[in-house]
Structure 1
């Protein structure tokens, strides 16, 4: 690479509730610092804090900046060097990811100001799912809609890609032999069917509303409900959409919080709303695991990642109850023992025919690796 004195890749992951960033050695892509700013506005103040933490970690030279972008729209299906046309395409895809793309764009623009002249790379959450077959990606809607880009794109691709790679390495099995159901569970959540290294289906669709019950998002919904609600309550489509994104999911069911940790604590006291929220959430994930095992003609491993998936033994237990017919048997001791220092661990009982794993989310590592790949491909 032409920037011999610069030794680090800076990876940004602006989510719906946190700004995560990490610096990686440009050659080995090993992390030298990894940090989270809770509930940020992606603004100058947040970037001031990023700068302070980088200096404290001794990171002074940066080769390039990589950004997680939730939605690439119909045009962007692989990591790309950011120029005016790529930035415009990300902006045009904002209606498909209104909680995430604006934060990514803010990060891109602030990074350009803080590190002028450095290459910036967009790494898309939708890219891993570009391999979905048409039978899984296509909605049964009018052709004009489909020509306009109405299709299933999927999200959390960086996380599901990391899960696939980690499960294969942990089990010491050829990726070509594995059928994995990957469950990314956090404030947002999705399940992905990974068949022999390729995403063949995922629970999120054109937007991040489809699929699982999430922190404040509804997940799967009868498409007739918005029309009914608009007629009954006199709401317009923007109000309905805002309610589905911000006032639904676990927040609506529990009537207390969107935070799974708080809901689990309340459920222990017998709170009926919290109990209902946990039951509905687990049921929805369990249905997708069964569906994706059927779609792949079997399942070799189920993996949990994301803030809730990797940190809540109770969540994993709730979800896997009743799946013994698929050969899935959880070892309760191993499930409880998975700790913060573990990168990945097998949690299945000895008699289980399907491996069960918890995997630490490492999306920033994927961002860094993809950024290096784009720099090499473009000769920078």
Structure 2
């Protein structure tokens, strides 16, 4: 029997949502609530081919969710609140507690809260979304999909940091990785497009305001660029990515900063925004670079180079490369970034068709390229919806 499943991605000032009819995987409604807590609140949504929006002041997540449910009801896609059988939530960090998606209970919520120190930009907002939906949809099954779960297959040689061993043994300090549902989805789609034999050794590049690169062998993650927290890896919109750890105490001592101030600096004031001095939006930085802004050009150069470094390293981990995938906001739309990234891998036989790349086509490699290169729009929400059906046993 078909079930209506709501997939939720809660941010600090936004909630993205998709309602599916499962297991058919038919998308009924998709939308987002924006500027929660601000003065310019808006809920944008699509029902079939019809796009609508409501300008609203959304004081908190509770109020935004109340309006989302009202939209689902008044649009006719649900009869009432009980028509939604399950709600799936994307949560950033599951720590050492969770290697699989789980049904929500008090213990799960408590652990998500404890892990907010490792994912301060995401876990608190995800928890707020869970608690709000518990109020509005008390009869729906709630399931959590963790960003970290897909990466639980990474071997110790790639996940354990070279700290004294007891920190790993006793406190589980290691590489966890993030954007798991995205890497999982696009790698599955790439295997469908190119066939399993031609995509055994794959690197997926999730490039947005947050970025992560993942090495996938035979469908399993074996290494990923984000680490103990989502701060590690490539340069990002406002995050540093990898830096020398000694920079942290240097900043604290030199500028009399607290650990929290340094954490805010590295998470919210660095990356493309910090180097360019313009924006964390790659499109704005790229435009400024075209107009001759040297800091913007430097920001793009650092960004591209950091991606290239991980692709090179992960090609070694995989002992070769069959397929390279770009996804997420920058990965799906920034043709210049894709072209520049791929320009370093002629030695691997990577060849890009410029016309296909400029039009964001599915396959952007040339027929004689030794590596498949694809642009695959991510769909984390369908992974979440599938998890709800499986974990809550709604099939």
Which category describes the TM-score, using the shorter chain as reference length?
A: over 0.9
Q: What SS does the corresponding residue of 1:275 show, helix, strand or coil? A: helix
Decide whether the 8 Å contact of 2:66 with 2:136 is kept in 1: no
Q: Give the distance between the partners of 1:308 and 1:38, measured in 2 at CA.
A: 20
- Residue 152 of structure 1 aligns with which residue? 175
1:369 aligns with 2:391: no
Which of 44, 65, 87 is equivalent to 1:47?
65
- Residue 9 of structure 1 aligns with which residue? 5
1:350 aligns with 2:373: no
**1:166-205 equivalence runs, <5 A:** 166-174=189-197, 178-205=200-227
- Residue 130 of structure 1 aligns with which residue? 152
Deviation for aligned residue 1:174: 4.6
Q: Give the distance between the partners of 1:16 and 1:260, measured in 2 at CA.
A: 21
**1:1-380 equivalence runs, <5 A:** 7-15=3-11, 18-40=14-36, 43-55=61-73, 57-60=75-78, 61-146=83-168, 147-174=170-197, 178-338=200-360, 345-376=362-393
Decide whether the 8 Å contact of 1:26 with 1:63 is kept in 2: no
Decide whether the 8 Å contact of 1:8 with 1:59 is kept in 2: no
Q: What SS does the corresponding residue of 1:191 show, helix, strand or coil? A: strand
- Residue 53 of structure 2 aligns with which residue? none
- The root-mean-square deviation of aligned C-alpha atoms, in Å, is 1.7
Deviation for aligned residue 1:17: 6.6
Q: Give the distance between the partners of 2:288 and 2:90, measured in 1 at CA.
A: 34
Deviation for aligned residue 1:144: 2.9
Q: Give the distance between the partners of 1:116 and 1:52, measured in 2 at CA.
A: 16
- Residue 52 of structure 2 aligns with which residue? none
Q: Give the distance between the partners of 2:106 and 2:97, measured in 1 at CA.
A: 14
Deviation for aligned residue 1:57: 4.3
Decide whether the 8 Å contact of 1:226 with 1:240 is kept in 2: yes
Q: Give the distance between the partners of 1:303 and 1:39, measured in 2 at CA.
A: 31
Query: Aligned pair in 2 of structure 1 residues 169, 56: CA closer, same or farther (>3 Å)?
Result: farther
Bigger mean CA deviation after superposition, 101-110 or 321-330: 321-330
Decide whether the 8 Å contact of 1:31 with 1:365 is kept in 2: no
Deviation for aligned residue 1:173: 3.1
Q: Deviations over 1:121-164 (max 9, x none)?
A: 00011000000000011001123321212111000000000011
Bigger mean CA deviation after superposition, 51-60 or 351-360: 51-60
Deviation for aligned residue 1:78: 0.4
Unaligned runs of 5+ in 1: 340-344
Deviation for aligned residue 1:48: 3.1
Deviation for aligned residue 1:338: 2.1
Q: Give the distance between the partners of 1:83 and 1:289, measured in 2 at CA.
A: 39
Q: Give the distance between the partners of 1:98 and 1:289, measured in 2 at CA.
A: 27
